Amino acid sequence: MSLILLVVGFALTAVLYLLSFAAPPAARRWLGLAAVACAAPLFFMLGEMSAHFDDGVCYTDALQSVAGAVARTDDPVALARRIEALPVVGYETYCPEVREAAAALPHASGH
């Protein structure tokens, strides 16, 4: 859905830009303002997408640490409790906190 909105916003911005060539000088100011208003959400969505770029790497690192801990554990019940306590809360997960907690598991491995 966000990709469709991105394309629609880009198309609106392009149309407003092209219309500004045929418009009288007074209307150009308003068309420019409308173009900026159409472009602002585009840059916001691009920023949101780039902010989540690191998420896959975050979970990959954490899972590698957890896998190392599971493979070498001598107390699976205690390890299961610690794994359940990892600070994973869906899309609101703070990656550095997850990496630190996963690395703190007994026998956790890095890469």
pLDDT tens for 55-67 read 556 677 777 788 8
Query: For the purposes of burial, counting CB atoms within 10 Å of the CB of 2, is it exposed (0-12), middle (13-18) or buried (19 or more)?
Result: exposed
Note whether 9 and 36 are same-domain residues.
yes
pLDDT band for 4, please (50, 70, 90 cuts): confident
Q: Taking a C-beta distance cutoff of 8 angstroms, is the pair 44, 66 a contact?
A: no
User: What pTM, to 2 d.p., does this model score?
Assistant: 0.45
Domain for residue 110, yes or no?
A: no
Note whether 9 and 47 are same-domain residues.
yes
Report the percent of the chain where pLDDT is more than 90: 0
For the chain, the domain total comes to 2
Note whether 97 and 60 are same-domain residues.
yes
Domain for residue 40, yes or no?
A: yes
Q: Taking a C-beta distance cutoff of 8 angstroms, is the pair 102, 90 a contact?
A: no
Domain of 59, in residue numbers: 55-103
